[in-house]
Amino acid sequence: MRACLAAALVVAAVGVSAPTDLAHAAPRSPQRPSAAASGDVGALDPASTGSRRADNPPAADVPRVRVNQVGYVPDGPKNATVVTERTEPLTWTLRDSSDREVARGRSTPRGVDEASGQRVHTIDFSDVRRSGSSYTLTADGDRSIPFDISDRVYADLRSDALRFFYVQRSGIPIDGALAGADYARPAGHLGVPPNKGDTDVPCAPGVCRYRLDVRGGWYDAADHGKYVVNGGIATHQLLSLWERARRAGDPHAVGDSRLRVPERGNGVPDVLDEARWEVEFLLRMQVPPGKPLAGMAHHKVHDRNWTGLPMAPHEDPEPRELRPPSTAATLNLAAVAAQAARVFRPYDPSFADRNLAAARTAWAAAKRHPDRYASDADSQGGGAYGDRHVEDEFYWAAVELYLTTGEAAYLREVLTSPMHTAQVFSDGGFGWQSVAALGRLQLATAPSDLPRDELERVRDSLTHAADRYVQTARRQAYGHPLPENAEFYAWGSNSNVLNNIVVLVTAYDLTGRKTYRDAAIEGIDYVLGRNALNLSYVTGHGDRAARNQHSRMYAHQLDPRLPHPPAGSLAGGANTGLQDPVAERSLKDCRPQLCYLDHIQSFSTNEVAINWNSALSWVASFLADVAREEGRTSA
């Protein structure tokens, strides 16, 4: 792989509130101005980055009938959206793979969709339940991309979304037999030149005087940084995917020898093997006994300076550095290690003990140092992940420690936290920076001795939030639970859609109400192509899918010898912030849903990241389970 030189000039153009991942931005000539408004996501100037032309079809060829390109669950809601200037209801027809009409009906005019500025109708074909492949929907003289109706429709999405974690692993060679031949590579950051390695990493100047072995874990995203707060939420979502599968789904589907992990066959569920790879890393980030701030966790480890694209992990020549411990990272460690102690107990009691001890130590250290905030300014060589509000991390950690130990002291911490009664389910969804919702979701679902009235209140807060998300989704002509205003389409917006779906699913699990289940199932349509760009944001899933995501490893758009991201990689999604030079230039004044480019340099709209794929994995696991249950019931 070749390293490409960073275009320093562009960095200057981005400004102070710029994102962190700047070194990859290369200059490019201006975009055709119409592209952003039309939904043409990839007809890029080939002179831009030395890259070959991205071959998405021009806007005129983008079907105006927008469907979930992967497909629909037989007994689930089935909706589509048509972009049209017509104001009266239109006739639609559904055709099977032999072009035979199987259903027809009338569309519902919806006026102008706020988030896209498009004039649209919606189509409801939920009554069609017959399984089949390559259906198409026709309306207003246009035809959709083909899709399936099947109870197997999300099986591959689940395992592909989870495979993303394996290919992002640090400190282990990636086996082509598991990951796919294109994704095989030597281990990264074990100290083989030119790598400096994560096995003996010093602190950044002035931070500490010791060195730590922080090998392993997952690379966060396009960069080779490893960040405890983002690793925290991602690992939690894999562990809670497992907890949900056991409680309400199909644990065997993510059990031993079911996923692409090298530990398959070891008697431990594969999804837990994958999560453990990161848990072990998180444990290594804890400050050792006897050192200043002992028990806290370093916020992150990453390169001293940003590297360019493409760059394989084992070719990264930059020195690695530990950045200061933070309260947020320490509490992420406490939360995830406490959860891991619970989840791993049946498989490896000594690992469970190690986790519980680390969680208790981390909790105590965070109490001693409650205001060590990670700075937003610390973005040289890696992302900042700054966070000055840690009440939510305290709450989540207290919840996990209580659920694992049942101890009164942790229960008191839960009940006295201001987060316990706060509105923690925001319209924009939870994320690495706001994790109180994780605590609330866990408290609502995990077995515990929480007083009955408390449990009821917790569960009510969750169903109220789900009711709001249902209303939000009903307002959207594209059917997803994210409000239409520009502020909600922020960096990683696809994960916010997915995390709101997590809340809907949990409300469904608690109540059995079909409204929540249907809103959850319909919500994924947006991610898989029923959106203003008619683009599936998941590589390899859908005929018209993103595939030039910002990544140092899967940089096909920059070097044709390299692969695209593996199937199952989720793009961050529409971001009105336009915090990269390519997006800034090409998407000026874009309507929220159109603020996206399938271009490798658009890191603020098109990066891959572990916390986004964890949300996708969680939701895909639910979808695959619910589709299969229906298959069983109707068989």
- Give me the residue whose beta carbon is nearest to ligand 9MR: 383
Minimum distance between the CB of residue 86 and ligand 9MR, rounded to whole angstroms?
39
Closer of 20 and 286 to ligand 9MR (Cβ): 20
Nearest by Cα to 19 from 218, 233, 306: 306
- Beta carbon of residue 21, minimum distance to ligand 9MR (angstroms, whole number): 6
Q: How far apart are CA 435 and CA 282, in angstroms?
A: 17
Is 607 among the residues known to form the active site? yes
Shortest distance in whole angstroms from residue 386 CB to ligand 9MR: 8
Per-residue binding string, ligand 9MR, 207-246, x by CB under 6 A, is -------------xx-x-x---------------------
Number of residues forming the site for ligand 9MR (CB under 6 A): 14
Number of C-alpha atoms within 13 angstroms, CB side, residue 479? 27
Would you say 635 and 628 are in contact if contact means Cβ atoms under 8 Å apart? no
Give me the least distance between CB of 225 and ligand 9MR, in Å please: 6
- Quick one: 164 or 385, whose CB is closer to ligand 9MR? 385
* Of 303, 378, 598, 625, catalytic: 598
Considering 273, 278, 607, 625, which one is annotated as catalytic? 607
The long-range contacts involving 395-398, CB below 8 angstroms and separated by at least 24 positions, are 395/419, 395/420, 395/435, 395/436, 395/439, 396/331, 396/335, 396/435, 396/436, 396/438, 396/439, 396/442, 397/331, 397/332, 397/334, 397/335, 397/338, 397/359, 397/362, 397/363, 397/366, 398/363, 398/439
Residue 225 or 592 with smaller CB distance to ligand 9MR = 225
Q: Per rule CB under 6 A, is residue 303 in the interface with ligand 9MR?
A: no
- Binding string, residues 597-616; x marks residues near ligand 9MR by CB under 6 A: ----------x-x-------
List, in order, residues 6 or more apart from 177 with CB less than 8 Å away. Answer: none
- Distance of closest approach, residue 609 Cβ to ligand 9MR, in angstroms: 4
Cβ atoms of residues 427 and 494 within 8 Å: no
Question: Rule CB under 6 A: is residue 278 a binding residue for ligand 9MR?
Answer: no
Residue 301: name the closest of 204, 209, 193 by CA. Answer: 204
Give the integer Cα–Cα distance in Å for 365 and 367. Answer: 5
Minimum CB distance to ligand 9MR smaller for 39 or for 383: 383
Query: In the complex, what is the shortest distance from the CB of residue 490 to ligand 9MR, in angstroms, rounded to a whole number?
Result: 7
Among residues 100, 203, 83, 45, the alpha carbon closest in space to that of 591 is found at 83
| Burial status of residue 155 (CB atoms within 10 A of its CB: 0-12, 13-18, 19 or more) | middle
Minimum CB separation of residue 231 from ligand 9MR in Å reads 11
- Minimum Å gap between C-beta 385 and ligand 9MR is 6
> CA 499 to CA 576: how far, in whole Å?
19
Stretch that binds ligand 9MR, among 15-23, 98-106, 124-132, 563-571 (CB under 6 A): 15-23
From CA 66, how far away is CA 119, in angstroms rounded? 13
> Catalytic annotation on 270?
no
Q: Is the CB of 477 or the CB of 587 nearer to ligand 9MR? A: 587
Alpha helical stretches, state H, 209-345? 228-248, 270-284, 327-344
Stretch that binds ligand 9MR, among 14-22, 291-299, 403-411, 535-543 (CB under 6 A): 14-22
**CB of 34 closer than 8 Å to CB of 591:** no
Q: Does 492 bind ligand 9MR (CB under 6 A)?
A: yes
Binding residues for ligand 9MR restricted to 442-481, rule: CB under 6 A: none
Task: Closer to ligand 9MR by CB, 227 or 516: give it.
Answer: 227
Largest CA distance in the chain: 74
Map residue 226 onto helix, strand or coil.
Answer: strand
* Smaller CB separation from ligand 9MR, 223 or 413: 223
CB atoms within 10 A of CB 359: 26
Of residues 221 and 562, the one with the C-beta less far from ligand 9MR: 221
Position 633: which residue type?
Answer: T
Per CB under 6 A, 21 contacts ligand 9MR: yes
Region binding ligand 9MR by CB under 6 A among candidate stretches 13-21, 303-311, 359-367, 530-538: 13-21
Residue 210 to residue 294: CA distance in whole angstroms: 12
Q: Would you count residue 491 as binding ligand 9MR (CB under 6 A)? A: yes
Taking the complex as a whole, the smallest distance from the CB of residue 323 to ligand 9MR amounts, in Å, to: 12
State which residue, 21 or 303, has the beta carbon closest to ligand 9MR.
21
Compute the least distance from the CB of residue 22 to ligand 9MR, in Å.
11
Backbone angle region of 212, left / alpha / beta, with phi > 0 → left and psi within -120 to 50 → alpha: beta
3-class DSSP state of 397: helix
Q: Which is nearer to ligand 9MR, 135 or 430 (CB)?
A: 430
- Is residue 182 within 8 Å of residue 292, measured between CB atoms? no
Inter-residue long-range contacts of 511-517, CB under 8 Å, 24+ positions, other chains counted:
511/463, 515/470, 516/463, 516/466, 516/470, 517/76, 517/626
Q: Degrees (nearest 5) of the Cα angle 182, 188, 193?
A: 115
Cβ(492)–Cβ(549) below 8 Å: no
Least Å from the CB of residue 425 to ligand 9MR: 18
Draw the binding track, 162-201, toward ligand 9MR (x: CB under 6 A; -: no contact). Answer: ----------------------------------------
Which residue lies nearer to ligand 9MR by CB, 95 or 300?
300
**Closer to ligand 9MR at the Cβ: 443 or 610?**
610
DSSP 170-190: SSSPBPHHHH-GGG-BPPSSS
Q: Which 3 state secondary structure label does DSSP give 137? A: strand
Distances (CA, A) of 31 to 10, 47, 372: 16, 11, 43
Write down the least CB distance from residue 167 to ligand 9MR, Å: 16
Residues contacting 146, CB < 8 A, separation 6+: 69, 97, 133, 134, 135, 136, 543
- Looking only at residues 358 through 417 of this chain, which bind ligand 9MR when binding is defined by CB under 6 A? 383-385
Amino acid at 318: E
Q: Which residues form the interface with ligand 9MR (CB under 6 A)?
A: 19-21, 220-221, 223, 225, 383-385, 491-492, 607, 609
**Which positions are catalytic?**
598, 607
